[in-house]
Chain A
Amino acid sequence: MSIVHMPEAISGLVGMILEGTDEATQHAAGALAHLAVNEEAEFIIAHSDGVIEALASLLANGGEAAKEEAAAALENLSYSVDSAMLVAQTNGVITGLAMLLHTAKGKGIEKAIGTLQNLAAMADCRVEIASAPRALMGISSVLWNGSPRVQVSA
């Protein structure tokens, strides 16, 4: 038995993201990011009710650190094609990630660009990313100003 096999654990983390304090939402999103480290866990978490929607909400409304953790969780949840499609189809994810490229620093940019890189591996997502407000400008900004690591992802 592991944490991802306990539905109440995942739903508890989702509840925390939706109604917790800024500190709590940060930890809950961080837990999801750490949990989604292999394909089995990624599948279970991505298909759990409300997870991706909660992370999208956090991208829009969370504090800076919580947004970073949300982007980290989405990066791990967009690794395999199946769950990446769920991530890409969730309202607010691509827009939120694009905004993060403009507002975040360091880790936040790294995780946002990493998620967009994962999503861009799917042809269906490329147009959506390119059409998102300020997305291309954000990616260009990372190309010009980011660390070598994030430049590669951009």
Chain B
Amino acid sequence: MTLPELIEKLVARDAPDKDRAHAALALQYLSLNIDKVRFGAAGRAESCAAVLPELCDLKNRACNVCVVTHVVCTHVVCNMILTIF
């Protein structure tokens, strides 16, 4: 999921309250790392493996936030998004 897609969920007035609340929660977690997480031109988070090496631990799960296809990511932000969406 890209940042613009996340914003779309946030502003979609016809979306279920739960989805919008989740989008707000995802933004809250993303913004926790705003100093470290940067978004590329396409709106995708740049590699959390590169930006947040101390938080990113490769395991066996695809990360749908990071551009870099980690096969496995337990990065706290990615994990939150994976859990939510």
Contact = CB atoms under 8 A, between A and B. Distances in A.
A117 interface: no
Contacts of A3: 3, 27, 30-31, 34, 39
A16 B20 contact: yes
Contact of A24 (B20, B30, B35, B41): B20
Interface string A1-21: 111101011011101100011
Sort chain B's interface into a size bin. Answer: 20 to 34
Contacts of B4: 6
A37 interface: yes
B48 interface: no
B10 A13 contact: yes
Sort chain A's interface into a size bin. Answer: 20 to 34
A31 B39 contact: no
A86 to B, nearest CB: 20
Interface of A: 1-4, 6, 8-9, 11-13, 15-16, 20-21, 23-24, 27-28, 30-31, 34-35, 37-38, 41
